[in-house]
Amino acid sequence: MPKTTYIIAGDIGGTNSRFSLHLPGQSDPLLTHIYPNEEALQNSPGAYHHATLKPYLEKCLAEVEDWIGMGEDALLSQVQIVACLATAGPVKTDNTVFMTNLGSGCTIDGNEIETCQDGLLSLVVRCKLVNDFVGQGYGALDLDLDKEAVELVAGSKAKIDSLGPKVCVGAGTGLGECFLTKSSLSPELGYECYPSEGGHVDFVPRGALEVELLDFLKAKFNCPNRVSVERVVSGRGLANVYEFLAQKFPERVDKAIHEEFLSAGDQQGRVVGVNSGKEGSLTAQAAHIMFASYGAEVGNASLKFIPTGGMFVTGGLTPKNIGLIEGEDSPFMKAYLDKGRLNPLLDTVPIFAVMTEDIGLRGARVCAERVSFLLSKMLSVE
Protein backbone atom coordinates (compact mmCIF):
# COMPACT_ATOMS: atom_id res chain seq x y z
CA MET A 1 0.00 0.00 0.00
CA PRO A 2 1.54 3.35 -1.02
CA LYS A 3 2.31 5.79 1.74
CA THR A 4 0.63 9.18 2.08
CA THR A 5 3.06 11.99 1.29
CA TYR A 6 3.22 15.25 3.22
CA ILE A 7 5.34 18.32 2.48
CA ILE A 8 7.46 20.23 4.99
CA ALA A 9 8.78 23.65 4.03
CA GLY A 10 11.45 25.33 6.14
CA ASP A 11 12.89 28.85 6.12
CA ILE A 12 16.08 28.71 8.18
CA GLY A 13 17.54 32.08 9.12
CA GLY A 14 20.19 33.06 11.60
CA THR A 15 17.60 33.96 14.25
CA ASN A 16 14.59 31.72 13.64
CA SER A 17 13.58 28.49 11.92
CA ARG A 18 10.11 28.53 10.37
CA PHE A 19 8.38 25.30 9.37
CA SER A 20 5.05 24.55 7.70
CA LEU A 21 3.33 21.23 6.98
CA HIS A 22 1.27 20.76 3.81
CA LEU A 23 -0.53 18.17 1.79
CA PRO A 24 0.81 18.06 -1.78
CA GLY A 25 -0.87 20.63 -3.99
CA GLN A 26 -2.21 22.66 -1.06
CA SER A 27 -0.63 26.01 -0.26
CA ASP A 28 -2.54 26.46 3.01
CA PRO A 29 -0.47 24.93 5.83
CA LEU A 30 -1.79 22.33 8.24
CA LEU A 31 0.54 23.72 10.90
CA THR A 32 3.15 26.49 10.97
CA HIS A 33 5.59 27.05 13.81
CA ILE A 34 8.65 29.21 14.49
CA TYR A 35 11.60 28.10 16.63
CA PRO A 36 14.13 30.62 17.99
CA ASN A 37 17.40 28.99 16.94
CA GLU A 38 19.52 30.01 19.91
CA GLU A 39 17.05 28.54 22.41
CA ALA A 40 16.48 25.39 20.35
CA LEU A 41 20.19 24.66 19.88
CA GLN A 42 20.90 25.21 23.58
CA ASN A 43 18.20 22.74 24.58
CA SER A 44 19.37 20.03 22.17
CA PRO A 45 23.08 19.14 21.98
CA GLY A 46 22.58 17.03 18.83
CA ALA A 47 22.51 18.00 15.16
CA TYR A 48 20.36 20.85 13.91
CA HIS A 49 17.48 18.60 12.85
CA HIS A 50 17.25 17.09 16.33
CA ALA A 51 16.93 20.61 17.78
CA THR A 52 14.20 21.92 15.47
CA LEU A 53 12.76 19.51 12.91
CA LYS A 54 12.20 16.67 15.38
CA PRO A 55 10.22 18.79 17.88
CA TYR A 56 8.27 20.25 14.96
CA LEU A 57 7.24 16.76 13.84
CA GLU A 58 6.27 15.94 17.41
CA LYS A 59 4.18 19.12 17.50
CA CYS A 60 2.47 18.05 14.27
CA LEU A 61 1.62 14.67 15.83
CA ALA A 62 0.09 16.46 18.82
CA GLU A 63 -1.85 19.13 16.87
CA VAL A 64 -2.60 18.08 13.26
CA GLU A 65 -5.99 16.39 13.27
CA ASP A 66 -5.23 13.65 10.74
CA TRP A 67 -2.03 12.75 12.55
CA ILE A 68 -3.68 12.68 15.96
CA GLY A 69 -6.29 10.23 14.70
CA MET A 70 -3.63 8.04 13.14
CA GLY A 71 -1.30 7.75 16.13
CA GLU A 72 2.49 7.42 16.05
CA ASP A 73 2.76 3.73 15.11
CA ALA A 74 0.39 4.05 12.16
CA LEU A 75 2.02 7.31 11.14
CA LEU A 76 5.45 5.69 10.92
CA SER A 77 4.13 2.92 8.66
CA GLN A 78 1.72 4.92 6.49
CA VAL A 79 3.27 8.39 5.98
CA GLN A 80 6.36 9.78 4.28
CA ILE A 81 7.61 13.36 4.20
CA VAL A 82 9.38 15.33 1.50
CA ALA A 83 11.08 18.44 2.90
CA CYS A 84 12.83 21.48 1.50
CA LEU A 85 14.76 23.84 3.74
CA ALA A 86 15.69 27.30 2.46
CA THR A 87 18.85 28.21 4.36
CA ALA A 88 20.73 31.49 4.85
CA GLY A 89 24.02 30.20 3.49
CA PRO A 90 25.72 28.76 0.38
CA VAL A 91 24.38 25.25 -0.29
CA LYS A 92 27.00 22.81 -1.57
CA THR A 93 26.42 20.24 -4.29
CA ASP A 94 26.45 17.49 -1.64
CA ASN A 95 23.21 18.90 -0.15
CA THR A 96 24.88 20.48 2.90
CA VAL A 97 25.23 24.03 4.14
CA PHE A 98 27.37 25.60 6.84
CA MET A 99 25.53 28.53 8.40
CA THR A 100 27.95 30.91 10.05
CA ASN A 101 25.11 32.91 11.64
CA LEU A 102 23.41 29.89 13.24
CA GLY A 103 24.66 29.58 16.81
CA SER A 104 28.45 29.50 16.79
CA GLY A 105 28.32 28.01 13.28
CA CYS A 106 26.25 24.99 12.31
CA THR A 107 26.14 22.46 9.47
CA ILE A 108 22.79 21.28 8.14
CA ASP A 109 23.05 18.04 6.17
CA GLY A 110 20.07 17.09 4.02
CA ASN A 111 21.41 13.59 3.43
CA GLU A 112 21.80 12.99 7.15
CA ILE A 113 18.21 14.08 7.69
CA GLU A 114 17.02 11.63 5.01
CA THR A 115 18.78 8.69 6.65
CA CYS A 116 18.02 9.59 10.27
CA GLN A 117 15.95 6.94 12.03
CA ASP A 118 15.38 8.82 15.28
CA GLY A 119 11.66 8.60 15.95
CA LEU A 120 9.50 10.78 13.71
CA LEU A 121 12.55 11.99 11.79
CA SER A 122 12.45 8.63 10.00
CA LEU A 123 9.36 9.92 8.16
CA VAL A 124 11.57 12.23 6.07
CA VAL A 125 12.51 10.39 2.88
CA ARG A 126 13.80 13.41 0.94
CA CYS A 127 15.29 16.67 2.26
CA LYS A 128 16.47 19.21 -0.29
CA LEU A 129 18.48 22.23 0.83
CA VAL A 130 18.39 25.46 -1.16
CA ASN A 131 19.81 28.93 -0.59
CA ASP A 132 17.32 31.20 1.15
CA PHE A 133 17.14 33.59 -1.76
CA VAL A 134 16.56 30.72 -4.17
CA GLY A 135 13.61 30.04 -1.88
CA GLN A 136 12.44 33.60 -2.47
CA GLY A 137 12.75 33.07 -6.21
CA TYR A 138 10.53 30.00 -6.13
CA GLY A 139 8.21 31.86 -3.78
CA ALA A 140 7.68 34.47 -6.49
CA LEU A 141 5.97 31.72 -8.50
CA ASP A 142 3.42 31.35 -5.70
CA LEU A 143 2.37 35.01 -5.50
CA ASP A 144 -1.12 36.37 -6.04
CA LEU A 145 -0.10 39.48 -7.95
CA ASP A 146 -3.52 41.07 -7.41
CA LYS A 147 -3.34 40.82 -3.62
CA GLU A 148 0.31 40.39 -2.63
CA ALA A 149 2.23 42.70 -4.95
CA VAL A 150 2.18 46.29 -6.16
CA GLU A 151 2.81 47.22 -9.78
CA LEU A 152 5.67 49.70 -9.81
CA VAL A 153 5.04 50.45 -13.47
CA ALA A 154 1.43 50.59 -14.60
CA GLY A 155 0.36 47.66 -16.74
CA SER A 156 3.10 45.34 -15.48
CA LYS A 157 0.79 42.34 -15.08
CA ALA A 158 -0.30 42.61 -18.71
CA LYS A 159 3.34 42.73 -19.87
CA ILE A 160 4.40 39.40 -18.32
CA ASP A 161 5.92 37.01 -20.87
CA SER A 162 5.16 33.44 -19.78
CA LEU A 163 8.51 32.26 -21.19
CA GLY A 164 10.56 35.26 -20.05
CA PRO A 165 13.21 35.23 -17.31
CA LYS A 166 12.22 36.31 -13.81
CA VAL A 167 14.47 38.10 -11.31
CA CYS A 168 14.20 38.76 -7.59
CA VAL A 169 16.18 41.48 -5.83
CA GLY A 170 15.51 41.91 -2.14
CA ALA A 171 17.00 44.05 0.61
CA GLY A 172 16.75 42.93 4.21
CA THR A 173 19.62 42.20 6.57
CA GLY A 174 21.68 41.90 3.38
CA LEU A 175 20.97 42.24 -0.35
CA GLY A 176 19.92 39.08 -2.19
CA GLU A 177 19.50 38.45 -5.90
CA CYS A 178 18.45 35.42 -7.95
CA PHE A 179 17.05 34.66 -11.39
CA LEU A 180 14.69 32.08 -12.87
CA THR A 181 14.48 30.71 -16.41
CA LYS A 182 12.16 28.39 -18.30
CA SER A 183 13.08 26.23 -21.28
CA SER A 184 11.34 27.35 -24.46
CA LEU A 185 11.69 23.75 -25.69
CA SER A 186 10.06 22.18 -22.61
CA PRO A 187 8.05 24.94 -20.90
CA GLU A 188 5.93 22.37 -19.10
CA LEU A 189 8.90 21.74 -16.79
CA GLY A 190 8.40 25.21 -15.30
CA TYR A 191 10.92 27.67 -13.96
CA GLU A 192 14.28 26.77 -12.46
CA CYS A 193 15.84 29.21 -10.00
CA TYR A 194 19.56 29.98 -9.75
CA PRO A 195 21.44 31.73 -6.94
CA SER A 196 23.51 34.86 -7.48
CA GLU A 197 25.90 37.04 -5.50
CA GLY A 198 24.70 40.13 -7.33
CA GLY A 199 24.30 41.93 -4.02
CA HIS A 200 28.10 42.11 -3.85
CA VAL A 201 28.71 43.94 -7.12
CA ASP A 202 30.41 47.33 -6.81
CA PHE A 203 28.52 50.23 -5.27
CA VAL A 204 28.52 53.05 -7.83
CA PRO A 205 27.93 56.64 -6.59
CA ARG A 206 25.30 58.65 -8.45
CA GLY A 207 26.32 62.11 -7.21
CA ALA A 208 29.00 64.08 -5.39
CA LEU A 209 27.70 63.25 -1.90
CA GLU A 210 27.69 59.55 -2.73
CA VAL A 211 31.29 59.80 -3.94
CA GLU A 212 32.13 60.95 -0.41
CA LEU A 213 30.00 58.09 0.96
CA LEU A 214 32.02 55.63 -1.11
CA ASP A 215 35.29 57.02 0.25
CA PHE A 216 33.89 56.76 3.80
CA LEU A 217 32.88 53.12 3.27
CA LYS A 218 36.21 52.19 1.70
CA ALA A 219 37.98 53.54 4.77
CA LYS A 220 35.52 51.95 7.22
CA PHE A 221 35.80 48.48 5.70
CA ASN A 222 39.48 48.74 4.71
CA CYS A 223 38.72 48.23 1.02
CA PRO A 224 40.97 50.61 -0.94
CA ASN A 225 39.38 50.05 -4.36
CA ARG A 226 35.67 49.23 -3.99
CA VAL A 227 32.81 48.25 -1.68
CA SER A 228 29.76 46.07 -2.32
CA VAL A 229 26.42 47.66 -3.06
CA GLU A 230 25.11 45.66 -0.07
CA ARG A 231 27.13 48.05 2.14
CA VAL A 232 24.51 50.65 1.17
CA VAL A 233 21.42 48.68 0.11
CA SER A 234 20.40 46.67 3.17
CA GLY A 235 19.40 47.19 6.78
CA ARG A 236 23.07 47.35 7.72
CA GLY A 237 23.67 49.57 4.71
CA LEU A 238 21.08 52.06 5.93
CA ALA A 239 23.04 52.29 9.18
CA ASN A 240 26.27 52.85 7.23
CA VAL A 241 24.71 55.71 5.26
CA TYR A 242 23.39 57.39 8.41
CA GLU A 243 26.78 57.02 10.12
CA PHE A 244 28.42 58.79 7.18
CA LEU A 245 25.87 61.61 7.20
CA ALA A 246 26.17 62.08 10.96
CA GLN A 247 29.93 62.44 10.58
CA LYS A 248 29.65 64.88 7.67
CA PHE A 249 26.82 67.00 9.10
CA PRO A 250 27.29 66.94 12.91
CA GLU A 251 25.22 70.11 13.30
CA ARG A 252 22.14 68.26 12.00
CA VAL A 253 22.39 65.29 14.36
CA ASP A 254 19.33 64.64 16.52
CA LYS A 255 20.98 63.73 19.82
CA ALA A 256 18.20 61.47 21.09
CA ILE A 257 18.07 59.46 17.86
CA HIS A 258 21.86 59.34 17.64
CA GLU A 259 22.21 57.99 21.16
CA GLU A 260 19.62 55.33 20.40
CA PHE A 261 21.50 54.51 17.18
CA LEU A 262 24.84 54.14 18.97
CA SER A 263 23.39 51.74 21.55
CA ALA A 264 21.32 49.66 19.11
CA GLY A 265 23.99 47.08 18.14
CA ASP A 266 22.90 45.12 15.06
CA GLN A 267 19.54 46.95 15.12
CA GLN A 268 21.00 50.29 14.04
CA GLY A 269 19.34 50.08 10.64
CA ARG A 270 15.95 49.65 12.32
CA VAL A 271 16.53 52.81 14.38
CA VAL A 272 17.25 54.78 11.21
CA GLY A 273 14.26 53.30 9.41
CA VAL A 274 11.81 53.97 12.23
CA ASN A 275 12.88 57.63 12.29
CA SER A 276 13.16 58.13 8.52
CA GLY A 277 9.80 59.88 8.29
CA LYS A 278 11.09 63.02 10.02
CA GLU A 279 11.22 65.72 7.35
CA GLY A 280 14.70 67.18 6.79
CA SER A 281 16.38 64.77 9.20
CA LEU A 282 19.58 62.84 8.62
CA THR A 283 17.57 59.62 8.99
CA ALA A 284 15.26 60.72 6.16
CA GLN A 285 18.24 61.62 3.99
CA ALA A 286 19.90 58.27 4.72
CA ALA A 287 16.73 56.42 3.67
CA HIS A 288 16.50 58.50 0.48
CA ILE A 289 20.10 57.64 -0.47
CA MET A 290 19.63 53.97 0.33
CA PHE A 291 16.41 53.57 -1.64
CA ALA A 292 17.78 55.49 -4.61
CA SER A 293 20.74 53.09 -4.62
CA TYR A 294 18.28 50.19 -4.28
CA GLY A 295 16.35 51.37 -7.33
CA ALA A 296 19.57 51.84 -9.30
CA GLU A 297 20.68 48.27 -8.55
CA VAL A 298 17.28 46.84 -9.45
CA GLY A 299 17.53 48.76 -12.71
CA ASN A 300 21.01 47.32 -13.30
CA ALA A 301 19.64 43.80 -12.77
CA SER A 302 16.82 44.52 -15.23
CA LEU A 303 19.34 45.57 -17.86
CA LYS A 304 21.46 42.46 -17.27
CA PHE A 305 18.69 39.88 -17.32
CA ILE A 306 15.84 41.65 -19.23
CA PRO A 307 13.31 39.83 -17.01
CA THR A 308 10.22 40.01 -19.23
CA GLY A 309 8.71 37.36 -16.94
CA GLY A 310 8.84 39.84 -14.08
CA MET A 311 11.21 41.76 -11.81
CA PHE A 312 10.20 41.17 -8.19
CA VAL A 313 11.42 43.54 -5.47
CA THR A 314 11.31 41.38 -2.36
CA GLY A 315 12.97 41.42 1.06
CA GLY A 316 11.85 42.66 4.44
CA LEU A 317 12.56 46.34 3.68
CA THR A 318 10.15 46.47 0.73
CA PRO A 319 6.72 46.30 2.42
CA LYS A 320 7.96 48.39 5.36
CA ASN A 321 9.09 51.23 3.08
CA ILE A 322 6.73 51.07 0.13
CA GLY A 323 6.33 54.86 0.25
CA LEU A 324 9.98 55.24 -0.78
CA ILE A 325 9.60 52.65 -3.56
CA GLU A 326 6.21 53.17 -5.17
CA GLY A 327 5.46 56.10 -7.50
CA GLU A 328 7.40 57.69 -10.36
CA ASP A 329 8.67 60.44 -8.03
CA SER A 330 9.98 58.03 -5.35
CA PRO A 331 13.76 57.86 -4.90
CA PHE A 332 13.63 54.17 -5.86
CA MET A 333 11.75 54.60 -9.16
CA LYS A 334 13.62 57.74 -10.18
CA ALA A 335 16.90 55.84 -9.95
CA TYR A 336 15.44 52.66 -11.46
CA LEU A 337 14.31 54.52 -14.57
CA ASP A 338 17.50 56.59 -14.90
CA LYS A 339 19.26 54.40 -17.46
CA GLY A 340 19.85 56.90 -20.27
CA ARG A 341 19.53 55.49 -23.75
CA LEU A 342 18.50 52.08 -22.34
CA ASN A 343 15.34 53.45 -20.71
CA PRO A 344 13.12 52.05 -23.51
CA LEU A 345 14.33 48.55 -22.63
CA LEU A 346 12.98 48.96 -19.08
CA ASP A 347 9.55 49.62 -20.58
CA THR A 348 9.44 45.91 -21.53
CA VAL A 349 10.09 44.75 -17.95
CA PRO A 350 7.12 44.10 -15.63
CA ILE A 351 8.15 45.18 -12.12
CA PHE A 352 6.45 44.47 -8.79
CA ALA A 353 7.01 45.25 -5.13
CA VAL A 354 6.26 42.12 -3.11
CA MET A 355 4.24 42.97 -0.02
CA THR A 356 4.36 39.63 1.80
CA GLU A 357 7.31 38.49 3.90
CA ASP A 358 6.70 34.70 3.90
CA ILE A 359 7.90 34.29 0.33
CA GLY A 360 10.97 32.23 1.36
CA LEU A 361 8.86 29.66 3.22
CA ARG A 362 6.45 29.48 0.31
CA GLY A 363 9.33 28.96 -2.09
CA ALA A 364 10.58 26.06 0.01
CA ARG A 365 7.13 24.51 -0.34
CA VAL A 366 7.26 24.94 -4.13
CA CYS A 367 10.66 23.18 -4.17
CA ALA A 368 9.39 20.35 -1.98
CA GLU A 369 6.39 19.91 -4.27
CA ARG A 370 8.75 19.41 -7.20
CA VAL A 371 10.84 16.87 -5.32
CA SER A 372 7.66 15.05 -4.27
CA PHE A 373 6.47 14.91 -7.89
CA LEU A 374 9.78 13.43 -9.06
CA LEU A 375 9.73 10.92 -6.22
CA SER A 376 6.22 9.77 -7.14
CA LYS A 377 7.30 9.31 -10.77
CA MET A 378 10.29 7.23 -9.72
CA LEU A 379 8.13 5.04 -7.48
CA SER A 380 5.55 4.54 -10.23
CA VAL A 381 8.30 3.30 -12.59
CA GLU A 382 9.51 0.85 -9.97
* DSSP classification of residue 364: H
Whole-angstrom Cα distance, residue 234 to residue 272?
A: 12
Of 91, 85, 89, 109, the C-alpha closest to 99 is: 89
Which pLDDT belongs to residue 13?
83
Looking at residue 70, its pLDDT comes to 87
What pLDDT digit, counting tens, does each position of 208-253 carry? 999 999 999 999 999 999 999 999 999 999 999 999 999 999 999 9
pTM: 0.89
CB atoms within 10 A of CB 291: 25
The pLDDT, as a whole number, for residue 14 is 77
The DSSP-derived string for 173-185 is SSEEEEEEEE-SS
83 phi and psi angles, rounded to 5 deg:
-120, 150
Q: Give per-residue pLDDT as tens, 181-194.
A: 998 888 888 899 99
Q: What is the DSSP string of 240-307?
A: HHHHHHHHH-GGG--HHHHHHHHT-GGGHHHHHHHTTTSTT-HHHHHHHHHHHHHHHHHHHHHHHH--
pLDDT at 378: 60
User: What pLDDT shows up at residue 102?
Assistant: 76
Which residues, in sequence order, are bridge partners of residue 130?
86
Cα distance between residue 25 and residue 41, in whole Å: 32
Q: Report pLDDT for 45.
A: 65
**pLDDT number for residue 377:** 62
SS3 16: strand
| Alpha-carbon gap, residue 19 to 59, rounded angstroms | 11
| Element counts in the chain: helices (H) and strands (E) | 17, 13
Long-range contacts from 254-258, C-beta under 8 angstroms, 24+ separation: 254/278, 254/281, 254/282, 254/283, 257/281, 257/283
| Helices assigned H by DSSP within 141-249 | 156-159, 208-220, 235-248
Q: Which residues of the chain have pLDDT under 70?
A: 1, 45-46, 377-382
